[in-house]
Structure 1
Amino acid sequence: MIEMPPLKFAKTNGIRMGYYEAGPVTDKPPVVLCHGWPEIAFSWRHQIKALSEAGIRVIAPDQRGYGATDRPEPVEAYDMEHLTGDLVGLLDHLEIEKAIFVGHDWGGFVVWQMPLRHPTRVAGVVGVNTPHWDRAPMDPIALFRQRFGDKMYIVQFQDPGRGPDKIFSSRVEQTFDLLMREPTGAPPNKPTEPPVAGVGASAKTNLAIPDMVAAYDARFDPRKPILSAEERKVFVDTFTKTGFTGGINWYRNFTRNWERSKGLDHHITVPSLMIMAENDAVLPPSAAEGMEKLVADLEKHLVKDSGHWTQQEKPEEVSAILIEWRRRRFG
C-alpha cells in the first residue's frame, strides 16, 4: 500500500501548484523536497513518511510543468527565475519564513540556486546526486553539442519540433521501464574529462535517451526495476495525462539560464549537504569534486550501490542521512 498525504494546492508565482505536506506544522525549518525529471513529488514518498514520522515538517511539490501543477505554454516560463520563484511563493502561501531545500536531479539544480537568488528564504540546501557548480564558461548547449554530438538527450531536447516529447508521450510505459531500473556492473569510472562546470555528464556519457526509448523492449532488459507495479502505475498514469513537455521545457532553458546568470555570485554560505550515488552514470560522485570552493559549509555522503534514482533505490539510507543531518544542524 502506497502512503501519500492528501494533495493540496497553492497559488504561487502565477500558477496553481499541487503539493503534499506531512509532519508537525510547528517544526522549523521545514524541509522542501524538489524532484527531478521525469519525476513528481511521489518520488519522495519514502522520505515524506520517514521524515514526518521523525517529527520533521515535510513539503513536496509537483513542480511547474509536472503532475498536479500547471503547465504554462511558453518555454521561457520554465527558466530558473520562475522555478525558484515558485518555491518562494509556496513558502509565502504556507507562511514559512525559511526552509531547507532538498533537490534530486533537476530539482538539485533548482535548490542550489535558491540561496543565490533568494538568500533570506533558505536555511540549508541538500543536493541529491546533483552538485553545485560555478557558471559554465560558455553556453551549455553548445558545450554539450561540441562534446557529445547532436544525439545526446539534452541536445535533442532543444528540438523546436518537440520530437522527444512525442516519443516519450507515445511510449510512456517504455520510458519508465527503460529509465527506472537499477544499474548493472561496476561504478562509472572517474571521467577522463571532468564534468563541465554548470553542466555535468562525463565524456563517457552519451545518452541518446529518446532513441533508446523508441527502440526499447523491456523483455530483453536484464536490469532490476526499482518500482513495484503499483508505483510504476502512478508514474505512467500521471505522465499519460500530462505528457512530458513541461519537464523537458526546463532543459530548453539551459542557454537562457546561463545568459541570465551572468554576474550572479555562485558562493553558498548556508549549511549544505551533498548526497552522492556511487553508480550514477550521469551525475557521478566525481562531479561533486571541488564543490568546497563554492560551498563554505559542506558535508558529503556517498550512497553505495545506488544508481541515479537514489531516494527511491536506497530510501532508508537517504531518509536516515537527511534526518541525522537535519537534527544535528538545526536541532
Structure 2
Amino acid sequence: MRVRQVRRGRLVLDVRDEGPVDGGTVLLLHGFPQDGSCWDEVVPALQGEGLRTLAPDQRGYSPGARPPERAAYRLEFLVADAVAVLDAAGVGRAHVVGHDWGGGVAWALAAEHPDRVASLTAVSTPHPRALAGALLSPDQAARLWYMGAFQLPRLPEAVLVRRLPSLLAASGLPDPWVERYTLRMREPGAVRGALNWYRALPLSRLRPGDVTVPTTYLWGAGDPALRRTAARRTGRHVDAPYRFVELSAGHWLPETEPEEVATAVLDVAAVPGG
C-alpha cells in the first residue's frame, strides 16, 4: 500500500493509494467516525478489475489535519480537500464513492465539479436536498436528533469518549470495526475534529444542487438514521442515468456489504474508458 500525504496549507491528509496508476481511479470517501480503512474489504475487488483506489483519511481524521476550529470544516473546504487528493495523484476524473458524511462530500463534489467526477456512488447518504425535504417528517427528524446535540460545546466529546463503543455496536457495526474506530477517536484531537463536521453545518456556504453525472445510490432498508423518504426523493436531484439499489442491510454498508458496494462501483467503473 502506498500512503500519499497531501498538503492543504498547514494541513496534511493521509491517503491510501493502491492499485495500478495507468487505469481508471476510484476516490473513496469515508464518514463518521470511520477512516479510509472502512473500504478495506471493498478495495480488492476494485483493484482486481484494474482500478486504482484513493482512500483518504479526511480532515479531522488524519493526524496532521485536525484543526480545532469548527469553521475549518465547512463543506466547501471538505470538497476542496477531495479535489486536492485528485490533483496530488495526477487524476483528472475519478469514480467517486462516499459513505455517510463522505457521501455528503461526494454529492457536493459531483454537483460542483462534474468535470472531475466520472460517476458517483452514494452509499447510505441521500442527496442533501432530499434529506432536507425529508426532515419535515417527524420520524426522520427524530432519528437525526444527535446532529443538534453535537452542536453543543465540549459535552459531546466527553460523552463520545465514554459511550462510542456501545453506540456503534447498537447501530449494527461489527465488533472489529467498533474497536478500530474507537481507538482512532481516542487519538489527540480526533473526536473534536470528527464532531466539527456537524458543527460546521450552519456555517457552510455550499448548497449542492442537482447532479449531472451517472449516479448509483445504495441504501440499507434497516438504516436506523436515514429513512425511506429521503432515499426515495434522491432520484429527483439527479439529471443523468440513475440507479437506486435497496439492500436488506443497515447503515454500515462498506463494512457489512462490501461485495454489493464493489459491484455497484464496478458496474459503472470497469468499462472501457471508465
1:39 Cα shift? 0.8
Q: 2:44 aligns with which of 37, 49, 52?
A: 49
3-state SS of the aligned residue for 1:100?
A: strand
Name the % identity.
Answer: 29
Cα distance in 2 for residues equivalent to 1:173 and 1:134: 31
Whether the aligned pair in 2 keeps the contact of 1:274 and 1:298 (CA below 8 Å) is no
Residue-by-residue CA offset, 1:193-251 (whole Å, 9 max, x unaligned): xxxxxxxxxxxxxxxxxxxxxxxxxxxxxxxx5233xx444223211114311111011
Aligned residue number for residue 234 of structure 2: 291
Q: 2:193 aligns with which of 216, 239, 246?
A: 246
Aligned residue number for residue 272 of structure 1: 215
Whether the aligned pair in 2 keeps the contact of 1:23 and 1:52 (CA below 8 Å) is yes
Q: 2:251 aligns with which of 300, 304, 308?
A: 308
Cα distance in 1 for residues equivalent to 2:57 and 2:169: 21
Cα distance in 1 for residues equivalent to 2:193 and 2:163: 17
- Of Structure 1 and Structure 2, the greater helix share is in 2
**Structure 1 residues 137 and 96 mapped into 2: Cα distance closer, same or farther (>3 Å)?**
closer
1:66 Cα shift? 0.7
Aligned residue number for residue 165 of structure 1: 157
**Structure 1 residues 13 and 87 mapped into 2: Cα distance closer, same or farther (>3 Å)?**
farther
Whether the aligned pair in 1 keeps the contact of 2:130 and 2:234 (CA below 8 Å) is no
**Structure 1 residues 8 and 289 mapped into 2: Cα distance closer, same or farther (>3 Å)?**
same
- Of Structure 1 and Structure 2, the greater strand share is in 2
Residue-by-residue CA offset, 1:108-164 (whole Å, 9 max, x unaligned): 1111001332333222211101111438879x8x999xx549x921111010x3211
3-state SS of the aligned residue for 2:129?
A: coil
**Structure 1 residues 254 and 265 mapped into 2: Cα distance closer, same or farther (>3 Å)?**
closer
Structure 2, unmatched stretches of 5+, are none
Question: Structure 2: which amino acid aligns with 1:53?
Answer: G
1:78 Cα shift? 0.2
Q: 1:85 aligns with which of 62, 80, 85?
A: 80
3-state SS of the aligned residue for 1:115?
A: helix
Calculate the aligned-residue CA RMSD, in Å: 2.8
Aligned residue number for residue 153 of structure 1: 146
Question: Structure 2: which amino acid aligns with 1:16?
Answer: V
Cα distance in 2 for residues equivalent to 1:17 and 1:226: 27
**Structure 1 residues 293 and 169 mapped into 2: Cα distance closer, same or farther (>3 Å)?**
same
Aligned residue number for residue 117 of structure 1: 112
Runs of 4 or more above 6 Å deviation? 135-138
Aligned residue number for residue 28 of structure 2: 33
Asked if residue 64 in structure 1 is aligned to residue 62 in structure 2, the reply is no
Cα distance in 2 for residues equivalent to 1:67 and 1:235: 13
Q: 1:126 aligns with which of 105, 116, 121?
A: 121
Of stretches 297-306 and 78-87 in structure 1, the one that deviates more from structure 2 is 297-306
Whether the aligned pair in 1 keeps the contact of 2:130 and 2:231 (CA below 8 Å) is no
Q: 1:320 aligns with which of 263, 266, 272?
A: 263
3-state SS of the aligned residue for 1:96?
A: coil
Q: 1:97 aligns with which of 85, 92, 97?
A: 92
Cα distance in 2 for residues equivalent to 1:281 and 1:270: 28
State how many pairs are aligned. 271
Mapping of 1:208-227 within 5 angstroms?
226-227=174-175
1:165 Cα shift? 1.1
Structure 1, unmatched stretches of 5+, are 182-224
1:24 Cα shift? 0.8
TM-score by length of 2: 0.88
Whether the aligned pair in 2 keeps the contact of 1:276 and 1:300 (CA below 8 Å) is no
Larger RCO (alpha carbons 8 Å, 6+ apart): 2
Question: Structure 2: which amino acid aligns with 1:326?
Answer: A
TM-score by length of 1: 0.74
Whether the aligned pair in 2 keeps the contact of 1:13 and 1:85 (CA below 8 Å) is no
Cα distance in 1 for residues equivalent to 2:49 and 2:55: 16
1:178 Cα shift? 3.5
